[in-house]
Amino acid sequence: MTDSDNLELSRRRLLGTVGAAGAASLVVGAAGGAGISAALSGEDTAGAGAGGAPALTTVGATSVMFHGKHQAGITTPLQSRGHLVAFDLAPGAGRKEAAALLRRWSVTAKALMSGKAPAEDTGVALDAGPSSLTVTFGFGRTFFDRTGLTSRRPAGLDPLPAFSSDALDPRRSEGDLWVQIGADDALVAFHALRAVQKDAGDAARVRWQMNGFNRSAGATAKPMTARNLMGQVDGTGNPKPTDPDFDRRIFVPAGGGGAPEWMAGGSYAVVRRIRMLLDDWEKLPLDRQEQVIGRRKSDGAPLTGGTETTELDLDKLGPDGKLVIPDNAHSRISAPEQNGGAAMLRRPFSFHDGIGPDGTPDAGLLFVCWQADPLRGFVPVQRKLDRGDALSAFIRHEASGLFAVPGGPAEGEYVGQRLLEA
């Protein structure tokens, strides 16, 4: 038996304790297409599971399916650790090399997401379960030029317009291929990142990479909407898989809308590195921060009252005769009813990349949003924000990318096979 066989068996042995501890199956919405299994073993790992191995905790044992109608990592609940990485195909690499690469990546992602170690494993996550690991793949506009597939490039990849608030670094923007990695354990996420990078081999090289985080699973007494580094509840107005129009807004339909068939069940990801000017923001008094956002900082409720999920009362006036939610408040300008119903599924990570020589933190939001058509989702909202959002004075858009993320692969398929082998 080889060392890699031993590594795979060790991770399988740990995953085998899930059955011994008792498991529950959950489905993330009808639109999610991702099955999740969680081992309810509790916190005590002293007892031995199958073969004498300690039982995994619930967080470690949770897994997400690789195959499905949609790729994992879109409707999957926010994970505590994330890596975003873009690759450019190497000089001379084309469609054949791209297909081989996506085949390798798919094999590796499927193994890691189920808790198995790939061949020639580093052993970084040897003693961990899958920890809700997801690996999501997308194609940038230039990918189609490099592979001779320009006739199959979707209109949804038309370049995003320039915005006045942009200060974009082209070295950290766009790319031929994009990979999103998320997990509820930092080592599991890094392990997947390292495996993806190694699998790229001579076919592709890293263009840029960004690391992010969210609150850890189980850190709060009950599930809560995430907070960003400004301390604001972020994601309250997200569309929900239970909404009747969720699929229409987020996923590309099959056989309709002029989209190529290989994108059926897929989505478009807009990725933006948004630097937060935290020193300036933190100088604002609480009431001014709340007016900039249009929501209470304590619980995310609208300034017009209620709870986090209460609808904004955009017409409500205060005793002074002024709008309670200011006309330039971020929540007002970005509300779907203010943008012709435009909506997107925001699924970000926070980032912190150190402190500058002047003491300024390089920190903010790795903004990732999903929609069936970015020209109807992200673009109209960002245009309106660009014209008068009070939050604009405290943020800077430093990098940007747009990627076509195909639907999930069926059993026996690799991601993008319907594009690359048609």
Q: Which residues are catalytic?
A: 234
Q: How far apart are CA 85 and CA 72, in angstroms?
A: 16
| Cβ(392)–Cβ(67) below 8 Å | no
Q: Could you tell me the two tokens for 73? A: 């990592």
Q: In 3D, which of 130, 118, 4 has the Cα closest to residue 57?
A: 130
Category of 182 on φ-ψ map: left (φ > 0), alpha (ψ -120 to 50) or beta = beta
| Cβ(81)–Cβ(191) below 8 Å | no
Q: DSSP letters of 305-340? A: SS-TTSPP-TT-B-TTSSBSS-TT-HHHHH-GGGTT
| Cβ(406)–Cβ(156) below 8 Å | no
Contacts of 408 (CB under 8 A, 6+ apart): 33, 66, 67, 68, 69, 70, 71, 72, 265, 415
Determine the angle formed by the axes of helices 186-200 and 95-113, rounding to 10 degrees. Answer: 160
Q: How far apart are CA 329 and CA 315, in angstroms?
A: 13
Q: How far apart are CA 29 and CA 401, in angstroms?
A: 28
